[in-house]
Amino acid sequence: MRGRATRSAFALSSAALLVMGIAGCNQSKPEEGAAQSDLKIVEQVQIDQNGAEVKPEAGAVPANPAGDGKATCPPLSLAMAGALTGPDAALGINIKNGVQLAIDQHNAANAGCQVQLKTFDTEGDPQKATQVAPQIVDDAFTIGLVGPAFSGETKATGQVFDQAGLVAATASATNVTLSENGWKTFFRGLANDGVQGPSVANYLKNNLGNKKVCVVDDSTDYGLGLAQAVRETLGPVADSACNISVKKGDKDFSAAVNQVKGASPDSVFYSGYYAEAAPFVQQLRDGGYTGKFVSADGTKDPEFVKQAGEASKDALLSCPCGPATGDFAKQYTEKFGQEPGTYSTEGYDLGTIMLKGIDAGKITRPDLLDWVKNYQGQGVARKYQWTDTGELTTTLIWMYKVQ
C-alpha cells in the first residue's frame, strides 16, 4: 500500500507467484503453505508516531453515502484510477470496490441523483497513467477522482488534475513528497510515510524492545522513502551491517538472507510490496532466521499470506489503513463475495465524501473541490479533515499481525 512508486518501482502482485528460493526444490510452493493454514491479517493496535497505543474513539458513527434519499442532480460521474488488471491489481480492486459500494448505496437511496463510477486501469504504471489522465479530465461529466492509487502514477499525473481543477483524492499513495508540489486538488486519505516510518520504528524500539533491526528496501520510490524514515527513527538500532537494498521483481533473496543471518537481528523490516515480501520471508525462514519479520502497507494484503503460507505467521504489518468494521464490512463482503482488503475502507470513505458533496449541490468541479477542502467528518477508517496541502490533520497508524 501504500507510497506507491513507478511501475518498476511498485507491484502489489495479485498473481500467483512460484517462489524460487535458496532452498531449491525442497522449498514449498506458496499455495501449499497456505493450504495448510488458516492464517489471517488481524488488527492489533493503533499507534502514534512514538509507537504508543491510541485507543480508537468509541461510538463514532461514519458518514452514510445514502444520505436522506432526497438528493437531486444531473447525470454525473466519479472516476477511480489505479491498477485493475495485471500483477498489481489487488490493491486497485480493493479501492474500486470500496468506491463502488458507496456509489451503489447512494444510488439505491436517491432515485433523483444517479452517479456513475468510471474506472481507469493504469496497471500501476506512471506512463500508462499519463495516458489515462487526459481521458479523465476531458470527460465533462466527471467531477471527482478517487486515485491514483500508487505514488509513482500520482506524481506523474498530479499536475494534469491540478490544472483541470479536478479533485484527486488518493486512498493509498503515501510518498511524503506528493503533498509538496503545490497541487490544490491533491488530497491524501491516510497518513503518509513520514508518519508511518517513525510510528513503526518507535513501535519496534519502544514496545518490542528491539536492539538490532535489519532494514531492507526494494529500491522503489515507496520502499526507499519508507525505509529512510524507519532507519532515521531507529538510529543506531538500524544495524549498518544489514542495511540492504534489493530490487522490485527479485525472486532470489539469498544474498540478503545471508546478510541477515550474519547480523542476527531482533527484527527484519522489509520496505516493499508483498510480491517480494512473500518469497523473502519464506527464504528467511528456510535459511534459519527466527526473529520477527515486519513490513508495512505494501505487504498488508491477503496475497502475502496466501503466497508465503506458514512463513508469514506472526509477521507484523504496519498500515495507515483503517480496519474494516461494522456494517461496512458486512455489506462489502455480501456484495463482492470477499472481505474488504487493504484500502477498501479508504475508497469507500473518499467516495462517500464526494457523494455527500454532490447531494449538497456541489455538482461542478470547483464546487466539489471547495467541499472537500472544507470537509470535516467521520468515516469508517478515521476522521477526515485536510490541511491546505492535502494532508490529513490527524494521522495514526495501525499494527496488524498474521495469525
pLDDT per residue as tens digits for the range 296-355: 998 998 889 999 999 999 999 999 998 998 899 999 999 999 999 899 999 999 999 999
Measure Cα distances from 325 to 63, 267, 272, 313, 328 in Å.
14, 30, 26, 23, 6
pLDDT at 123 over 50: yes
- DSSP 8-state symbol, 25: G
- Can you read off the three cell numbers belonging to residue 87? 500483477
Whether 86 and 155 map to the same domain: the answer is yes
- Which one-letter amino acid corresponds to residue 201? A
**Which of 301, 319, 337 delimits the end of a domain?**
319
Question: What percent of the chain is predicted at pLDDT more than 90?
Answer: 80
Q: Residue 239 CA to chain centroid, in angstroms?
A: 27
Q: Is the same domain home to 165 and 266?
A: no
Is 403 within a domain? no
Distance CA 139, CA 197 (A): 38
Question: Cell digits for 119?
Answer: 474506472
- Provide the domain count of the chain: 2
Domain final residue pick, 289, 319, 349: 319
Sort residue 333 into left (φ over 0), alpha (ψ -120 to 50) or beta.
alpha
Residue 390 gets the label, from left (phi > 0), alpha (psi -120 to 50) or beta, of: left
383-384 vs 292-295, strand pairing mode: unpaired
CB atoms within 10 A of CB 26: 8
Same domain for 183 and 146, yes or no, is yes
**Residue 37 has what pLDDT?**
61
156-189 residue pLDDT tens: 999 999 999 999 999 999 889 999 999 999 999 9
Sequence-distant (≥ 6) Cβ neighbours of residue 86 within 8 angstroms: 15, 123, 124
The pLDDT value given to residue 114: 98
Distance in Å from the first CA to the final CA of the chain: 20
* Contact indicator for 294, 317 with CB cutoff of 8 Å: yes
Q: Which amino acid is at 33?
A: G
pLDDT in tens, 7-40: 333 333 333 333 333 333 233 344 444 344 699 9
SS3 117: strand
Domain extent for 362: 76-191+323-376
Residues 125 and 202 in one domain: no
- pLDDT(387) > 90: yes
Residue found under cell 502489489? 12
**Residue 353 and residue 279 in one domain:** no
Q: Are 398 and 191 in contact (CB under 8 A)?
A: no
Pair (331, 315) in one structural domain: no
- Mean pLDDT, to the nearest integer, of 251-256? 98
Q: Strand pairing of 267-271 and 238-245?
A: unpaired
314 and 198, same structural domain?
Answer: yes
In a domain? residue 69:
no
Phi, psi of 24 (to 5 degrees): 60, -135
CATH number at residue 163: 3.40.50.2300
- CA of 400: how far to CAs of 93, 147, 152, 194, in Å? 21, 24, 26, 19
Residue 396 lies in a domain: no
Candidates 185, 193, 195; CA nearest to 389 is 185
Percent of the chain whose pLDDT exceeds 70: 91
179 and 327 inside one domain: yes
Res. 130: pLDDT tops 90: yes
* Residues 355-375 as b or e (16 or more Cβ within 10 Å = b): bbbbbeebbebeebbebbbeb
Q: Same domain for 201 and 289?
A: yes
Where among 319, 343, 366 does a domain terminate?
Answer: 319
